[in-house]
Structure 1
Amino acid sequence: MSPIVRRNAVLNGIGEGLWGLGANMILPSTVLVVALKELGAGKTMLGSISAIESASFLLPQFAGLYLFRSRHNLKWRLIWWHFLPMIPTLPIMGALLWFGPQWGWSNTAVRIVLLTLFAWYIMSIGAILGVWFDWIAHLFDKSVRGTVMGASFCLASAMGSLGALAAAQIIATMGPPKAFAILYFCATITASLSLVAFMFVHDPPDTGAPPATPTIRELLAKIRHSYTHHNFRLYLSARAMAVLGFCITLLITSYYTSEAGGNVPGATVVAAGSMMTIMQALMNLIAGRLGDTRGHRLGQLMAVTAQTVALSLPLFTSGTISCFATFGLIGLANGAAFMSHQNMLFETCPHDHRLAHITAGSLAIAPIAIGGPLIWGTVARYSGMTPVFLGCLVASSVALLMLFRFVRDPRHVSQSR
């Protein structure tokens, strides 16, 4: 690793670490769920959070292709995007939680506006998500990319565990709604500091001319080209089944705060989120390194195995210990899935436009990621959580079988039909 690459790796780690610290102070799967439950949200609304998050992450990625057409000053344009439409949403959400009741707003009005702001915040991330990862991939060679990204996201998750513990302490000490407002204000500060670290990253010029931004027709042709490859289609099918089986983290949070789950206090559930981020940190590091040496399909197998065990626990256990164990397994699953999925997308690209290929992957999974939480939320509302856990276990088992039996690691298969 050259000195410049090493410096970029350190700065990337610092930036991701600070971002993870703030992001886990306002984690949707714990903090937002507890905040909305305090405001009277039901299972359908809580289930919709995952659908809103998935839609807002995945669908705006088309916009990123055209908002960031060239590599010229790309780093700075990405940074300014964070500071203009994205980060300012957080203090507005904090102000809503702090002053909304004082302004005479009903809990229903606060819930709706809070979810709308949350959707805008995630959409502003989704618009540059593919561009951001494409830029990070451009900074590091394939031989070290998984290790560098794994170490960076390990630090992000480790710092995130501190953020989750801090959030739990603030909620337990101050109580709602002011505690939630303070958390959004703190996340604003840490997110801003994160971007300062990325300002010092050395952005090397591309070797060779980067592909021009395609027209809509050319983009669709690239996406169709991606879909013609059999192994890529099999992988996306398996990934979609895995997402269908594990898009209920927010419902798991709600389950443990209910009588069936042991009436675990909200602050304790938020603290359990720290176990999730600790395990995610560990798995980011392991999956990144194993992926570089043995292929990133292995990370997907590890992820779906962990999620299958995580879904089994609430079926047979309840209470605080079960809550912490389940969230720990969720962290292992999320860490392995995120790290390996990004690299699987990078390595399965059969043409010269990696960003279009990433978009193809997002579009294929989007219907499941958006519709799944709504379906499971409706099932939970009318039939309880047991059918939800059983259905998710079936979907996860199918995903595991497909990954093990049919999907091949892209390093061991030619990019042909």
Structure 2
Amino acid sequence: MIRGCAYHGPHDRALDLFAEMTRRGDGLVPDSFTYPYVVDACARLKMWRGAEAVHCRALKEGLDAVPAVGSSLLAFYVASGSLGDARRVLDGFAIKSVGLSNRMVSEYAKARDIKSARELFDAMAERDVVSWNAMLTAYVKAADLVAAKELFARMPVKNIISWTTMIRALSDAGDFVGMRSLFNRMPARNLVSWNCILSSYTKHGRFRQAIQMFPRMLLEGLLPDSFTVVSVLFSCENLRKLRMGRWIHANLVTMALQVHAEVGTALIEMYAMCGDIARALVVFFKMDRKDVFSWNVTIRALAVHRQADDALKLFDLMRKQGFQPNHFTFMGVLLACRYSYLVDQGRRLFDMMHKDYGIPPSLQHYGCLIDLLSCNGHVDEAVAVLQGMPCRPDSEVWRALLGWCRIEAGLGSAEEATMGGLVQSSGDEMCVAST
């Protein structure tokens, strides 16, 4: 019963049963099978003191060093962030299992406690590839590339995690020559390793190398997954490689991939950035499952391509289909109004964002509205909006408004106010409206 309640609930019932069990005088006492379930129930209920009391009882009964009990206690202390207590549990074992020691090294790595991780790693009587990977990860997290390279060279056995960890470390350090050399030395490459190097290139803006690597991957007989396709499409988007993007799109069926939300959104962005908004819309409307992000990307693409009417229609359709707009959505429709000089619609959408959806306008939303008003001759209104902002706008907004003041005639007072604001402005700040 304790096991069932600990795993499936009610969890507090497991603790009640445990307490009842300890009070009974019929010789029925908790054993090494009972304690792990009780500790698990405490963890699920976030009853830290309760688990500590259970630990004390297990200690008195000499059960804390039983592997099953000790493992549950170690997992509990790790989850609660008490690495010192977790280490004391581990040190209580006469023979420390490789698995528990690995877990402890990994937790030290997460906490960036390299000294403790290395001390435990060096003290381990037996190590497996997980042990070496945990220590390697610790060095990588600490950005100690020299120690990571030295450890990697000493590893008796390396698996895919070992190789990809070092590839990412070299990439983050900007050593792309070393990264490529290491990748070429891999005895066997799979989809994980290919995705690792492709994402490393795209993450650091090496889009040309990512595109060049993709055909090589296909020649090795590997079919990409959605992660691969999104990475390569992102590179095509940034280099405006429309032909390559079209080829990937045309071969998705051959690659046994479906155009779900993530891949579909990447295709929309690629086509839009390469100037083919018509094909971007075809992709969007053919998508079986859309998410808010795909709606936002398409609305913004239409805005950038000066198709404001279509952007606003898509916004209305989005709401009709039950999707909740967010601040990115409203940035897209405000841009559509800005690029097509739709002042009334821009005002309405700005008010709708805050009043109907409770979304506090950011500095970018205010900047877009102010620019829309200014470029359509409503400079005084733009100044009023700017002066009514709940925090100080950045100098970029003031400079843009000052430019419109100087273009328009007879706006001395507005220009004076703008100049005063420009002098007082400092830095880029995220502006959130008070509710």
Give the shorter-chain TM-score range: under 0.3
Rg larger for: 2
Question: Normalized against structure 2, the TM-score is what?
Answer: 0.18
Structure number with greater CO (CA < 8 Å, separation at least 6) is: 1
Question: Normalized against structure 1, the TM-score is what?
Answer: 0.19
